[in-house]
Structure 1
Amino acid sequence: MSSNALAKLIGFALIVLVLITAAAQSTYVVQPGFRGVQVTLGKVSEQFKPEGFGTKVPFVSTILPVPIRQLTRELNAECYSSDLQQVTVRLRVLYRIPEAAVVKIFQDYAGDPFDSLIAPRIQEALKEVTALQSAEQIVKKREEIKTRSLASVKQKIGDILYVEDLVLENITLSKELEAAIESKMVQEQEAAKARFTQQKSQIEADTVIIKAKGEAEAIRIRGEALRDTPGLIQLQIVEKWDGKSPLVIGGGENTGTNFILPLGTPASSPPVKK
């Protein structure tokens, strides 16, 4: 092969390579859950690219992906309570970049607004909320702290992106303060137990008194009924009679003594003296 033919072959191969490279550089694919931002010679296009396949100017334009699905980041916040106790809050932040703000977020925050926009606002919101509560209340009112902090963060950030939730994973106090809170809780539980025992004893004592008063009242009413109605005694005797007539035997002449022998009484049983 002559040198002239070889040169032509090399030139043709280079042209084919350039065309293939240009074709590859003139297309792009935006994956699901992302939007594309087009940068041409350092200038950002005002319109984002939707997900899917598209074409662009080769070599001078670049399509950079920006996520619009929900993202999660972790954060530690150092705060102080109203009683000047240091509180460390560990939390997860769930946020999302709205589609309409993709280009602005890319221009202002290089596509990742967490460190420069979200984290400082969350730190600020948590410090404002915890400063109004004692350290003990911060631990007890975790859900309230989260709700108020989330509302404050949304107000501070606005619509440029959505902070969808804050998950407070852990609230850490100093060891001395944790021991003091635990001791206080134990004392409160013991006091509550003592109050319960006292109330139970009082109820039992009141029950005994009420029962005794009821029995005394029943005895009084029964006594008055027997006094006012003598025939009631005879009625009760009749009601309890088993239908057997007693046998009365005289004790002898001039003795004035009689014996009552109930019917059915065994012969060995002694007679009843009347």
Structure 2
Amino acid sequence: MKNKRARAGIIAGVIVVALLALGISATTVVPAGHSGVVVTMGRVQKTALDEGLHFKLPFVQQIILMNNKIQKTEVASNSVSKDLQTVSSSVAINFHITKDAASDIYQNIGEQYADTVLQPAIQESVKAVTAQYTAEEMITKRSAVGDEIGQALSDKVSEYGILIDKFNIINFDFSEEFNAAIEQKQVAEQNKLRAETEKEQQIIEAEAAAKQKVIAAEAEAEATLKKAEAEAAANEKINASLSDGVLRYQQIEKWDGKYPNVVSSDSGILVTIPDQGNTGTTESGNGN
């Protein structure tokens, strides 16, 4: 009797476990940021499951989780520039797959789609774009080169349901010879710019000095003109103030008290005036 009860208990336990296992196998949970690809007896359904709890056929259907979150990959690539310089580049890509494309990607590419499709497309895009630019242009137009590579990559992988969210060039490396040539060119340009700056400064200083001389000369000429005008005005005033009486008075003031020995008159008579203190003689004649 006891053995029968024990067997019954065991059977009941097995049934309960089986029911629990069946219940668990009949449900599945698709976590956030994922799509559930339904595989029924090896056949992939076109529509993937959304996030959340879903029911499935136990032991018949399998749910494959595909990541729809933004993922990141970094790739090193070697290429050749337009001027045949070797370019070693390192790029970083943010990408994700769409929910609608999850089933097709799993069926046609597999879960390793990043290695199967994305990586080769990155290499091809980098090489195709860098071949259109010289090495120097890749340095000076780095942002434009990055945008062009990103667009080329997006065009290649979008048909698979892989979307490129962001493309960045981490680094461009060139040969040592090219780096040395670029450095020499930069030094030469800096020296040229410095020489041009110094020349312009000298020209500015020379022009300033010449302008200063012109200003000084003009000021001196103006001062001389004003002085001459002042002297002329003063002489004019003096001449206007002089009369015959004043002139005779000035002559008397300047006379030393001595008469000249000989004076003439309008009649032609010569008169000899004796020295002061002596008796002199006066001669006159009419020219005969």
Bin for the TM-score computed over the shorter chain: 0.7 to 0.9
TM-aligned CA distance change 1:233 to 1:37, over 3 Å = farther
How far residue 70 of structure 1 moved from its aligned partner, in angstroms, is 0.9
Deviates more, 1:186-195 or 1:77-86: 186-195
Alpha-carbon distance in 2 for matches of 1:185, 1:223: 57
Aligned residues: 239
Deviates more, 1:124-133 or 1:1-10: 1-10
Q: Which residue of 2 aligns with 1:32?
A: 32
Q: Deviations over 1:17-47 (max 9, x none)?
A: 2211111111111111111111111111111
Q: Which residue of 2 aligns with 1:108?
A: 108
Is the partner of 2:194 in helix, strand or coil? helix
Structure 1 residue 206 and structure 2 residue 207: aligned?
A: yes
How far residue 88 of structure 1 moved from its aligned partner, in angstroms, is 1.1
After superposition, the CA RMSD in angstroms is 2.6
Is the partner of 1:111 in helix, strand or coil? coil
Q: Which residue of 1 aligns with 2:198?
A: 197
| Aligned partner letter, 1:181 | I
Deviates more, 1:148-157 or 1:75-84: 148-157
Q: Deviations over 1:98-124 (max 9, x none)?
A: 222222122222134222222222222
Q: Which residue of 1 aligns with 2:55?
A: 55
* Native 8 Å contact 2:47 2:100 kept in 1: no
TM-aligned CA distance change 1:233 to 1:145, over 3 Å = farther
Gaps of at least 5 residues in structure 2 are 236-254, 257-288
Alpha-carbon distance in 2 for matches of 1:58, 1:24: 8
Quote the sequence identity (%).
27
Alpha-carbon distance in 1 for matches of 2:221, 2:121: 80
TM-aligned CA distance change 1:17 to 1:231, over 3 Å = same
How far residue 225 of structure 1 moved from its aligned partner, in angstroms, is 3.7
Is the partner of 2:101 in helix, strand or coil? helix
Q: Which residue of 1 aligns with 2:66?
A: 66
How far residue 168 of structure 1 moved from its aligned partner, in angstroms, is 1.2
TM-score by length of 2: 0.75
Q: Which residue of 1 aligns with 2:17?
A: 17
| Aligned partner letter, 2:190 | Q
TM-aligned CA distance change 1:149 to 1:233, over 3 Å = farther
Is the partner of 1:100 in helix, strand or coil? coil
Alpha-carbon distance in 2 for matches of 1:19, 1:95: 42
| Aligned partner letter, 1:213 | V
How far residue 92 of structure 1 moved from its aligned partner, in angstroms, is 0.9
| Aligned partner letter, 1:15 | I
Q: For residues 122-141 of structure 1, what are the structure 2 equivalents within 5 Å?
A: 122-141=122-141
How far residue 8 of structure 1 moved from its aligned partner, in angstroms, is 3.9
Is the partner of 1:99 in helix, strand or coil? coil
Q: For residues 144-163 of structure 1, what are the structure 2 equivalents within 5 Å?
A: 144-158=144-158, 160-163=161-164
Alpha-carbon distance in 1 for matches of 2:78, 2:205: 53
Pair member with larger Rg: 2
Q: Which residue of 1 aligns with 2:282?
A: none
